[in-house]
Structure 1
Amino acid sequence: MIAGSENFASRPVDPEALRRTIGHKLLIHSVSQEVIDNLDPLTYEVVRHRLWSVTDEMGETLKRMSGSPIVTDANDFDFTINDEMGQLVQVGLYNTMLVGAIDMALSWTLRNRVDSPGIEEGDMFLCNDPWVGGGLHQADVLVFQPVFYDGKLFGWTSAICHEPDLGGSAIGSMPIGDIDVFHESLPTPPIKIVRKGEIQRDVADAWVRRSRVPMIIGLDLRAKVGANNIGRNRLLAVIEQYGADTVKAVMKRMMNDAEYRLRDKLRAAPDGEWTATGYQDQAHVGDRKTHRVALRMTKMDGHLTFDFTGTDPQAGVISCTYGGCRGGIMLAFLPMLAGDIPWSAGGLMRCFDIIAPEGSLANATFPAALGRAPLGTGWLIGNLVAQCLSQMLDRTIKLRGNVQASCCGTYDLAVIAGIDERSEQPVPFINTVMESVAGGYGARPARDGIGTGGNFCIPMGRVPDVEVTEMLYPLLMLWRREERDSGGPGRQRGGTSSAVAITPHGTSLPAHVVMSSSGKATAQNPGLAGGYPGNLGYDVVVHGARIQDSLAAGRIPASLDELEGDAQPVQCFAQTVIEPGDLIYLNCQGGGGYGDPLYRDPQVVGQDVRDGIVSAASAHMIYGVVLTPTGQLDEAATAERRHQIVDERRALARIPGKLEGHLDTEHAMLIDDNLVAHVDGEMAKIGCRHCGQIVSGEDNRLHLARITGGSTLAGPNIRVQPDFYIDAPVHFEQMLCPSCFTVMHTAILPEQEHANHSVSGFAVAH
């Protein structure tokens, strides 16, 4: 019987139920709990590190064999070792979003491929169906294999990377209209690509035939097959040396240890409930709506629940499958909670549950378009998880080192395609611009965010080498740099983001460009504890820039102001054609700040201005720092300016009714940079850490002052009014202590949504 679409729905992995289902159809290698419990500690550590070296060598093999800069330069790939039921034993340090759904693809294969075409030694399967698992959209292509020992299924290995083009109606397989999945690259459930150690030529030919750049797709296919071959050979060598039962016991212990260590860490944090809300500015080209993703995170003992009830329905090209939602969670979950725990994700993922309503942006049903799923909603989900985790961890001194404001919003993507005329035989090219990998990291309670530090989901991510890009494609990078004022202001400043300017060079023909992003009208990179969001996204196309004339005259333009022509900001979703001499400019988002900017050391702000990280205008407007004409700190004027800002806040703020008394802050419990709590029996009073003003009421809500206004109140980095992108009014909003007017929370969000907002996990009274 041919499976209907309902059989491809994503579902959580249940290894024991799966074992009962297929155990009579396939010989499976198992190990007893007694063997696991009796593992020698030294053997455990040696084998555990051997398994890590296996995955590391798989990654190096993939990079050496691939011809795609997405893999070789940007490190947008990953690889795993899994146990016999597909649970993730060891994952790589590359794109952690990708590993969030790999075990689901393996579990699906065990349920649906044992009978036909069978799972046998020497097989490999290929999958790019996000409803099955493996990746977050069809461009994430997984190749995985069963590993047999002594005739029994012992485990699996996998390799996955993002592909530049797999067909569909638009270059880069990224159509941006109000479409369904049939306009995109065809989702392919697991098919046998290797049989008895040989690539199936008919299947491989059908696979690469769909692409506009078949040579790259063919190379990546063989690179993933090669990485899996290395994984199998090295894993079997470890089994031969230490014995199958010992190696399997180590795999099980790795997942168990990761689970136990994470549960212990969670138990050290307070139980409670935290909320966060984010928005996608548009869902497709021509859309002018905002699309809401809501998260309620509950922590009880050593377990978390991520509940996305209240998230808007699936729409346009921004929806995630269940696996995409899970991958988005892993974006923040691994670095924030498991930075000091080996990434045996099969154990770590036992520590949380997901509630994601079907048909929503967080769990789209077939045939939703998924082109921007990982770069938009999936990434946004990770940011919301990071906000909730930070609010929880900020309340425990021991865990505050893991607190971090949101990193770089969501991904700013451009795909450029045309004809390369630099050789005798012109050839087509497609370049996925990867400069947005250099986003700004969010600030922490004790340190600034890292400028152009990368993406949260790719710990070892890199931007491609400029010379490599210019060698491979007929493109010229006029500049690539950190952009001033892109890091969110705060007591600790968010990391600055990258900006890149690109023009065709080496072709006389126009090039086609598809662009997709978000975070241009509303902020997707919020700060914490009063810190400001990082900059909003900002992209520009300049037609008639006459770059060739500038170069011929010996001038290399270094800013948009130096260009001729018509410079037009670009919508979140856009497609255009650029002629030789035209230019596209991309400025992705920086990291959010932490704490009220007025508490930042003025000397440090002055150094930021001298370093070109913060403008003098932002220093004066937001940080309240005044510099002399020579760039030195004017201490008296700075003190006066900071008092003036507090007076301005007092004049603008709407203050709630009657204020209560004050807390003894010295003996109160820390909530975050600005809030403390005093618990008396079952009653808790919350107050301002700086002045002691009680801000909680009997209704268990925070009674804070509020300032609302146009988004330009966020500072000089707001370069386009939000009504250019969406119809809903957008507000800059701050919540403040009603006594000393310290900023507790800052956001740029749709006007009608501010009633849903919360501060540090507590509801806000208006």
Structure 2
Amino acid sequence: MAIDPVTLEILKNHCRAAAESMAFTLYRTAHSTFVKETEDFTTGLTTPEGLTFATPTELGATWFVGLNYGNVIKAIDHYDEGDIGMTNDPYSGYVCTHSPDMHIWKPVFHDGEIVCFVVGHIHNTDVGGAVPASLSRTLSEVHQEGIRIPPTKIVRRGEINQEILNVLLANVRMPEQNWGDLKAQIASVNTGERRVHEMIAKFGVETFREGIAGLLDYAEAQARDIMRELPDGRYFFADYLDEDVAGGYPCRIALTLDIHGDGCTFDFTGSDPQIEGSVNMPTGGAERHALMMVGLVYVLYSLNPRLFLNSGVCRVCTCIMPDGTIVNPRFPAAVGLRTLSVQRLQGVIIGAFSQAAQDRLPAGPASGGPIMNVNTIDNRTGRRVVASIDPITGGAGGNPREDGTEGSGANSSFLKNTPVEINEAEVPIKILRYGLARDSGGPGKHRGGMATELRFEAQAPNTRITARNRDRSRFTSWGMLGGRAGSQSRFLLNPGTDREENLGNTDILKIGPGDVVHIGSGGAGGWGDPLERDPEAVLTDVKRHMVSAGSAERDYGVVIAGGTVEAAATAVLRARLAAGRAEGGFFDFGPERTAYEAEWTEGNYTALTELLAGLPVHWRFFVKHRIFEAVDALPPERRRGDGSEVRDSYAQVVGRYPQLAALL
């Protein structure tokens, strides 16, 4: 018998409160800055089969609403009361998505039967591997990204599995920090177990069991109602990552969104092959893998903020992910910087949906700024410090109603900044600036959210910096419906001196005392024609040093003199700017991407996708580069954009490598 709607609503709130109690326990007892300040963690409740049916809304990361723990739960053949499972291996069940993320799960028993699991993860600052903080775009295989623990019991009948713990702690750079965070995780799931027993005592075990299924169905029904509001059709969108290798080419994520009735399909055909770097996304090709669903959840929640967030939401979508591509790589591809690629993927999904709901969704979210990690020695104590000092995020895209959130918005808003005082107390650096970057938000009727920038000085020799997730150094976030693209990201060493160096997408850096690092994210895209922006809003931005006077005139057509808007001069300037510009498209991708896609057209990418798909996976990345080199060398008169130059170049590459030709 189905549970009645009133009881289901009450149970829903209790389940969410249980997940939030777990989150507060973890948040208050964690050791590392990245957990207790940045809040890169999750908690939740799953069905006995592993489907997440409740998550917090107040604390932690927002990525794993649809996470299915089923594969790792099944990897352990038997559970007793007091057991806790653990894994951080991206290729064991495809629950963990890179090695620093330690997932744990605990069965909750009632009368000898498992009624649910309480689960969660934290991002460890370091799990060993080739580089401090374990992640770098220079790494080429998962073995370099730190210790990997397949699904196993870290706690057996309430007792720590000391052998596994010893192996873990022997392979990390700050074992006391990892152990402290793990104890916080264990406390969190113990809190969740207590809360579940309280619910069973209140509602009864049968109502609790029926309610779990009801909550998944409830979220699915809400999501399908949202989908029915959108027009059926096929909507294409693509965007690019800065490739990992030095001198590399853009790495493309392409999506064809097919909306049909109360559901949709994500077809990622046209996305680039898995690359010899660490931005691959480990999904195992699962049709609703959590990483692929984050953007969907963000879109649906934006369209209806009353949406209950659990795995049921994801039932409205299925994915097509070609094997051996960036969205479905084969072992042992490196996956550590999947954060960067998933953020870009989220923007791609938003861009596709925005064509179906243009009056309800924002322009492109900012990106390109890293999560900064420092590995150094404390001059006072001689103690080694490995710490995350800040996420350098950008704002949200402008939307139909308002400007984008400044500095930390859209798909990165769950990453909280660490106060300067805490960073300087815990890490031997001196912070010189931490704030918003002027003129970084894309101009628009509703301006894009601004970029964040950080400038700090090293205090000790051999200070190693890991700036993971660096991107947007070439292509920028996109503007929409007349709004303009946001700014590029920046990464400079010793800015303003004769030793200034542009570090580009470098993410591993060694500096010494007195060296200064300046890093800034990209800015978000604007929404709507900037010439329609209220001149007084432009004046306010100028007074707040968010927009320069030069940008006010150049981008918004607003003339400011003596601290006020010159109304007559503004009207004349706006009329002149409007008359002199070309007709714009639905999106503004910025001049760099526009120039790139004039040569790398959809016709060329269609041919490239078809040809690479016919090769063995381990040849695809190599051949892609050889084709790009050959096309780049063509004179302008031979570039037709219809795919023929790609096919000709491919034939040359195959002819050059008999080892490849023998495989075809």
Structure 2 length-normalised TM: 0.85
Is 1:419 aligned to 2:373, yes or no?
no
Match of 1:79, as an amino acid?
Answer: T
Aligned-residue offset at 1:160: 0.7
Q: Does 1:648 align with 2:603?
A: no
Work out which of the residue numbers 503, 513, 517 in structure 1 matches 2:465. Answer: 513
CA–CA separation in structure 2 for the residues paired with 1:228 and 1:516:
29
Q: Per-residue displacement from partner, 1:33-84 (whole Å, max 9, x unpaired)?
A: x2xx2x2433322222111111111001111111111111111111110111
Aligned to 2:178: 217
Distance 1:757 1:332, change over 3 A: farther
**Partner AA of 1:625 in structure 2:** V
The corresponding residue for 1:54 is 18
Matched residue, 1:109: 72
CA contact under 8 A between 1:414 and 1:513: conserved in structure 2? Answer: yes
| Residues 423-457 of structure 1 deviation map (CA, whole Å, 9 limit, x = unaligned) | 2xx11111223232x42111111111111233525
Instruction: Check 1:243–1:706 CA distance in 2 against 1; reply closer, same or farther (3 A cut).
Output: closer
Q: Distance in 1 between matches of 2:197 and 2:222?
A: 29
1:171 aligns with 2:127: no
The structure-2 alpha-carbon separation of the partners of 1:182 and 1:314, relative to structure 1 and needing over 3 Å to count, comes to same
1:245 maps to 2:197: no
Q: Distance in 1 between matches of 2:65 and 2:21?
A: 21
- Give the aligned residue type for 2:141: D
Aligned counterpart in structure 1 of residue 394 of structure 2, from 415, 432, 439: 439
2:291 aligned with 1:358: no
Residue 390 (structure 1) shift: 2.0
CA contact (8 A) 1:525 1:533 kept: yes
Query: Partners in 1 of 2:162 and 2:431 — Cα distance?
Result: 39
| Partner residue in 2 for 1:470 | 424
Q: Assess, with a 3 A threshold, how the Cα gap between structure 1 residues 541 and 455 changes in structure 2: closer, same or farther.
A: farther
Identity %: 26
Secondary structure at the residue paired with 1:433?
A: strand
**Distance in 1 (alpha carbons) for counterparts of 2:18 and 2:378:** 39
Question: How far apart are the structure 2 equivalents of 1:273 and 1:206?
Answer: 50
Give the conservation status (yes or no) of the 8 Å contact 1:77–1:98.
Answer: no
After TM superposition, the structure 1 = structure 2 runs for residues 376-387 of structure 1, keeping only pairs within 5 Å, are: 376-387=340-351
SS in 1 for 2:306: coil
CA contact (8 A) 2:87 2:151 kept: yes
Following TM superposition, by how much is the alpha carbon of 1:196 offset from its aligned partner in structure 2, in angstroms?
0.2
Write the distance in 1 (CA, Å) between the matches of 2:189 and 2:469.
34
Q: How does 1:99-178 map to 2 (within 5 A)?
A: 99=64, 102-103=67-68, 106-114=69-77, 118-131=78-91, 132-177=93-138
In the alignment, structure 1 residue 349 sits paired with structure 2 residue 314 = yes
Contact 2:445–2:527 at 8 Å: present in 1 too?
yes
Partner of 1:718: none
Letter in 2 for 1:181: V
Residue 681 of structure 1 is matched in structure 2 by: none
How far apart are 1:599 and its partner, in Å?
1.8
User: Contact between 1:334 and 1:343, CA under 8 Å: does it hold in 2?
Assistant: no
| 2:484 is equivalent to residue 532 of structure 1 | yes
- Kindly provide the CA deviation profile for residues 610-653 of structure 1, in whole angstroms up to 9, marking residues without a partner as x: 2111111212222122222x232122222222232234324xx7
TM-score of the superposed pair, with normalisation by structure 1: 0.74
In 1, Cα distance between the equivalents of 2:586 and 2:87? 52
Distance 1:223 1:149 in 2: 24
- The answer as to whether partners of 1:383 and 1:409 remain within 8 angstroms in 2 is no
Counterparts of 1:560-571 in structure 2 under 5 Å? Answer: 560-561=495-496, 564-571=497-504
Q: Determine if the alignment matches structure 1 residue 448 to structure 2 residue 403.
A: yes
Is the alpha carbon distance of 1:707 and 1:504 closer, same or farther for their aligned partners in structure 2, counting shifts above 3 Å?
closer
Contact 1:649/1:707, CA 8 A, preserved across alignment: no
Equivalent-residue separation in structure 2 for 1:756 and 1:595 (angstroms): 29
What corresponds to 1:428 in structure 2? Answer: 384
Tell me the equivalent position of 1:753.
600
Pairwise CA distance, 1:292: 0.7
Q: What is the SS of the residue equivalent to 1:581?
A: coil
Q: Which amino acid is 1:511 matched to?
A: T
Deviation sequence 1:674-722 (CA, Å, 0-9, x none): 9xxxxxxxxxxxxxxxxxxxxxxxxxxxxx79999xx6x6xxxxxxxxx
Partner of residue 740, structure 1:
none
Residues 453 and 318 of structure 1: CA distance in aligned 2, closer, same or farther (over 3 Å): closer
**2:39 corresponding residue in structure 1:** 75
CA RMSD of aligned residues (A): 2.5
Distance 1:334 1:520, change over 3 A: closer
Q: Is the partner of 1:322 in helix, strand or coil? A: coil
Pair 1:565–1:510, CA change in 2 (3 A): farther
Cα 1:281–1:321 change in 2 (3 A) is same
- Mark the CA change 1:756 to 1:482 in structure 2 (over 3 Å): closer, same or farther: farther
Paired residue for 1:572? 505
In 2, Cα distance between equivalents of 1:707 and 1:362? 25
Q: Which residue of 1 aligns with 2:546?
A: 613
Structure 1, unmatched stretches of 5+, are 1-33, 395-399, 543-559, 654-673, 675-703, 714-729, 734-748, 759-764
Give the direction of change, closer, same or farther, for the CA distance of 1:451–1:457 in structure 2 (3 Å limit).
closer
Matched residue, 1:746: none
Listed as ranges, the matches of 1:274-423 within 5 Å are 274-284=235-245, 286-315=246-275, 316-322=277-283, 326-338=289-301, 339-374=304-339, 376-394=340-358, 400-401=359-360, 403-423=361-381
Residues 128 and 188 in structure 1, CA contact (< 8 A), matched pair in contact too:
yes
Q: Which residue of 2 aligns with 1:602?
A: 535
Per the TM alignment, residue 492 of structure 1 is displaced from its structure 2 partner at its CA by 0.7
The 2-side partners of 1:278 and 1:362 are apart by: 13
Q: Structure 1 residue 288: deviation in Å? A: 2.2
Partner SS for 1:179: coil
Per the alignment, in what secondary structure is the counterpart of residue 173 of structure 1? coil
Q: Contact 2:434 / 2:454 at 8 angstroms: preserved in 1?
A: yes
Give the 3 Å change call, closer, same or farther, for CA 590–428 of structure 1 in structure 2.
Answer: same
Give how far 1:594 is off. Answer: 0.5
Answer whether contact 1:412 1:537 (CA < 8 A) is retained.
no
SS class of match (1:642): helix
